[in-house]
Structure 1
Amino acid sequence: HSDLRVDCSESLRDERPKDRLLGGLLSPEFDEASCLSRDQSAQYWKQSNHTPSPYLLQKLRNYESLHRRCGPNTELYNKSIEQLKSNASTRPSECNYVVWLESGGIGNRVISMVSTFLYALLNDKVFLLKLPDDFHGIFCEPFPGTSWILYSDFPIQDLDGFDISHPQIYGQEKEQHTEKQSHNVKALSEIYLLSFSDVLLTTTFSTFGYVAYGLGGVRPWLLLKPENDVDPSCRQSLSAEPCFHFRYSYDCKTRKHVDKGALVPCVKHCEDFTWGVKVVDETLVIRRH
């Protein structure tokens, strides 16, 4: 992992009452004892200045309802399974699914899980997880009254073999990386410990660091690799968002390659990897320039 340094001194002095539901991002239906880390994390994070929008909160509640109706072991889920087995569907399904497959280390996995859930949230699809052997017991169930784990009786078994040549699947081939569960437990613990920091210093290209400062909502200081004598060796990031390292430059509408970091004010090239792009705070961009 990349070298990360933290300063937690300010957290010890923040005595304001903590909102364990994070402004409504977490459902009040959860039993506190069902997942201690979920219930207690808010006690250690610095209180956020951002308030979730009513639209986002409503989308989350609607999604939780959808997942309860369509999740594993429900009548609608079983109907979807039968349709997959028969390879036939006579009408649009009430439940549509997106299945996450693992790739890379734990930092890359967490970022891709969040991205997949966001896609499911925006497109009214049910997010299911093909749980790797080394992920058992690491994460709590994120949705009340249901599960996000894809059961072993799922009719399509060779999920890792999907690629663009598959007659019914559009996607990219995934390379499976096998990790030890003990390693993942330790790594995730370190990520959460780092996320409790008020000040965080990280090296470039670190997805491990991206997850840590994303959870904590902290704009990190980045140790850059100077390309010439005038480049600063350390600068604060414009946002707590991760960098999308290998973005696609082809624009389908114009049918040509474009600079994705120059299309809209809230998306800029990453400070630590100029080929990538990230979501930023527009006001900070204006202030810096």
Structure 2
Amino acid sequence: MAGAIGQSRQTFGTFEFFRFRGRASVELEPHRRPAPRRPPSAAFSWQSCRSRYEFAGYHKRKPAHKPSPYLVAKLRSHEALQMRCGPGTAPYEKALRQLKSGDVAAAADDDDDGCRYVISIGYDRGLGNRIIAIASAFLYAVLTERALLVAPYNGDVAALFCEPFPGTTWLLPDGGRRFPLRRLRDLDGKSKESLGALLKSNAIVSGAAGVNGSTSSSWSSGAPPPYVYLHLDGGADYHDKLFYCDEQQRLLRGVPWLLMKTDSYLVPGLFLVPSLRGELERMFPEKDAVFHHLSRYLLHPANAVWHAITAYHREHLAGAGRLVGIQIRVYHEETPPVSQVVLDQAVLVTSLSSWYYEKIRDELVGGAVGGGVHQPSHEGLQRMGDTAHDMRALSEMYLLSTCDALLTTGFSTFGYVAQGLAGERPWLMPRRPVWDKEPATEVPEPPCARVASPEPCFHSPSYYDCAARRNYEDIGKAVPYIRRCEDVSWGIQLVNGSRQSQW
């Protein structure tokens, strides 16, 4: 690692600090308003969502990941679908009436508007989990030509993000209080409306296997239900995960409403669905930039959050020639006596604990190194459902993404979001297993390594090969651009071609 990012290394007690040499030739000036550009839609304006126009200016020193023309065309087509089918439109009101009445046959007979929906259900998970869940639901909506609606968790989405689609909203109106299906957050793996439960019951009938081993399922009632719940979080079982089979995807096409609840990054699993893979490959020639493109299109911090980001950057980070971001997540109660960090002329530390920031600052003679050592907040505990807490967390994810080099903690979705926004492969600190209760006594070897991809890890994939009707021999070899994750041995991740990590 030292040879890759620096030329000198100094040891201070239990810490080893790697220093970068030289300054970048380009200085960021985030306090300047960028030159006016034509907005993508008359519905968008600089005043309503500054981050939409300014965020790219914080990444001038990073290699650009250009979206494919096909992806751009798909996004424009999806914007039109959202405007045609979104809340307040006649098709949406009709779909609500049909959902309330349960008259799916009438919906099928009168399907002149072609409006179907997927709802991303927010629930008691950390902000990183909720962000990768929304990105996953959005991509699935684009692939299946459904309008995306977000059921916020305690109203957080409106406070955190701008509206992503022109001329419409992605929020379930009134926070879902008037939606015909109440208490969406209470849906779980035991819900009788889940795909897994329907597969276990007699609601779905499987036909005989064809020549190539594929089967064709149908609804035993003759018509699809008005809605199906997709239980795809970390607790999903074998039947829930049959969602990733073509047979079930064909079945779900006729369901007007899909309710998706997940805390995971489902995208690698979607690439394993044969009927979706070709479209995904056309949309994303760079397989390790999928989340980068999704997040940079969909997730624009609201003005209040963006003001906090730019103000902190201007005051603490803008003058540094080079920035290193360190994201530390502790999964054990004790404070580890040994740690390993990367340093530069300015260092941004994000952690719920102040211990790491103070240790780094003190070891560096009061933090007097280059642009200093900085920590925007240290809240001690993660607070589910606290919007102010989530606003601070979101600002720190985006601040990390502006750094020239990132050091992240394995298994952390907070780090996944930051590295994906940046489109940069981070240096990864190995995560001690949750079940390892013994205090840390020595620095791991190697202490960290450059990973193969900035893509988030999918922590709970299906290991079932639907076409072969057996488990994959090695899910990490199912397609050339899917590998097992470096930080989670049972997870899978998108990578570019033959790129390897530097472990």
Instruction: Tell me the TM-score normalized by structure 2.
Output: 0.50
Matched AA of 1:281: N
Deviation, structure 1 residue 11: 8.8
Matched, 1:202 2:408: yes
Matched AA of 1:267: I
Assess if the C-alpha contact under 8 Å between 2:41 and 2:166 holds in 1: no
Matched AA of 1:150: L
Q: How does 1:17-96 map to 2 (within 5 A)?
A: 27-29=40-42, 30-46=44-60, 47-89=62-104, 90-92=106-108, 93=111, 94-96=114-116
Distance 1:10 1:212 in 2: 21
Kindly name which structure, 1 or 2, has the bigger radius of gyration based on alpha carbons.
2
- How has the CA–CA distance of structure 1 residues 127 and 11 changed in structure 2, closer, same or farther, with 3 Å as cutoff? farther
Assess if the C-alpha contact under 8 Å between 2:138 and 2:148 holds in 1: yes
Distance 1:19 1:217 in 2: 24
Report the more deviating stretch, 151-160 or 58-67: 151-160
Distance 1:37 1:288 in 2: 34
- How has the CA–CA distance of structure 1 residues 217 and 156 changed in structure 2, closer, same or farther, with 3 Å as cutoff? same
Residue in structure 1 matched with residue 151 of structure 2 by the alignment = 130
Residue in structure 1 matched with residue 454 of structure 2 by the alignment = 240
Distance 2:97 2:411 in 1: 43
Distance 1:20 1:246 in 2: 43
Residue deviations 1:233-276, cap 9 Å, x none? 31111111000112111122222121221111100011111111
The alignment partner of 2:95 has SS state of helix
Matched AA of 2:396: E
Deviation, structure 1 residue 224: 1.8
Assess if the C-alpha contact under 8 Å between 2:408 and 2:426 holds in 1: yes
Deviation, structure 1 residue 38: 1.9
Matched AA of 1:238: A
Residue segments in structure 2 that go unaligned for 5+ positions in a row: 1-17, 194-224, 234-260, 264-382, 434-442
Alignment size in residue pairs: 276
Residue in structure 1 matched with residue 127 of structure 2 by the alignment = 106
Distance 1:205 1:191 in 2: 15
Distance 1:231 1:178 in 2: 34
Assess if the C-alpha contact under 8 Å between 1:60 and 1:121 holds in 2: yes
The alignment partner of 1:57 has SS state of helix
Distance 2:116 2:35 in 1: 33
Q: Identity of counterpart residues, as a percentage?
A: 42
Deviation, structure 1 residue 19: 9.8
Instruction: Tell me the TM-score normalized by structure 1.
Output: 0.85
Distance 2:96 2:36 in 1: 37
Matched AA of 2:425: R
Distance 2:88 2:410 in 1: 43
Distance 2:136 2:35 in 1: 25
Residue deviations 1:191-248, cap 9 Å, x none? 0000111100011111000000101111100012589x99633111111100011211
Distance 2:41 2:479 in 1: 36
Deviation, structure 1 residue 12: 5.1
Matched AA of 2:400: L
Residue in structure 1 matched with residue 351 of structure 2 by the alignment = none
- How has the CA–CA distance of structure 1 residues 70 and 119 changed in structure 2, closer, same or farther, with 3 Å as cutoff? same
Residue in structure 1 matched with residue 169 of structure 2 by the alignment = 147
Residue deviations 1:112-144, cap 9 Å, x none? 100100000111000000122250411110101
